Amino acid sequence: MKTCTVPALPEPFTFDPQQTAVLIIDMQRDFIEEGGFGQSLGNDVSLLKAAIAPCQALLKAARAQGMLVIHTREGHRADMHDAFEAKVHRGSPKVRIGDAGPMGRILIRGEAGHDIIPDLYPLPGEPVIDKPGKGSFYATDLELILRNRKISTLIVGGVTTEVCVHTTVREANDRGFRCLIPGDCCASYNREFHAVSLRMFAAQSAIFGWVTESHQVVNALQH
């Protein structure tokens, strides 16, 4: 059994690749590309693009080791029966969830904007979790997949750091999963939120998880 040890905060992190899954959260066109939901909220979507190359490097190394790779997408059914009114009608964006956008209806499953960006598109056989909320465990079969594969550790990246990534890591922590977060594989529309979120993960002896950088994980997997 191969184990890997990665320099991390608050302390080095050791994991078995065969009991570890890489979870890439919500790297969707609606959040990252111009004209999507993220931009409609007034955000600078270019800030999220910084996570693409580190995620690509992480995925390449993980796939070479035969690790389980899982992707998530936030979005809703076409009839929007799974979209709470409090979520849809929050704030005053230019367009809301379900409205028509340049890439189809905003955050609706099956629309072009809901899908994962081409640079990080899942390979055949990699599970894609469609989730109606911020957390990847809420109203999904993610936990069932992880338990069936005897996964105990998650390496988590994606967007945004303070929302869907943080919510998912907190959910995972409460379910007994250990989480390693390569900070450069995550991104936010707000640089301050990103930085503070990473500190929160590792605070109080890794209260939610361990924080590292993608090159540290890649190096550990390749040696």
CB 215 within 8 A of CB 183: no
Q: Match 């936030």 to its residue by tokens.
A: 74
Active-site residue, from 26, 30, 115, 184: 26
What lies within 8 Å, CB to CB, of 2 at 6+ separation is 16, 17, 18
Give the C-alpha distances (Å, rounded to integers) separating 112 from 31, 41, 138.
Answer: 12, 19, 23
**Catalytic annotation on 55?**
no
pTM of the model: 0.97
Superfamily of domain 4-222: Isochorismatase-like (3.40.50.850)
Mean pLDDT of the chain: 96
Over range 188-213, report the average pLDDT. 98
Percentage of the chain modeled with pLDDT above 70: 100
Strand 104-105 versus strand 100-101 pairing type: antiparallel
Percentage of the chain modeled with pLDDT above 90: 91
Q: 14 - beta bridge partners?
A: 5
Domain boundaries, the chain: 4-222
**Catalytic annotation on 131?**
yes
Active-site residue, from 4, 164, 185, 186: 164
What lies within 8 Å, CB to CB, of 108 at 6+ separation is 75, 76, 77, 78, 80, 97, 98, 114
At 39 the pLDDT is 87
SS3 content of the chain, % helix, strand, coil (to 5): 40, 20, 35
User: For 135-144, how does the pLDDT look when each residue is reduced to its tens digit (9 = 90+)?
Assistant: 999 999 999 9
At 150 the pLDDT is 98
**Catalytic annotation on 99?**
no
Q: Match 């070479």 to its residue by tokens.
A: 64
CB 213 within 8 A of CB 183: yes
Active-site residue, from 30, 55, 130, 131: 131
pLDDT grade for 1, boundaries at 50, 70 and 90? low
168: part of which helix (H) or strand (E)? helix 166-174
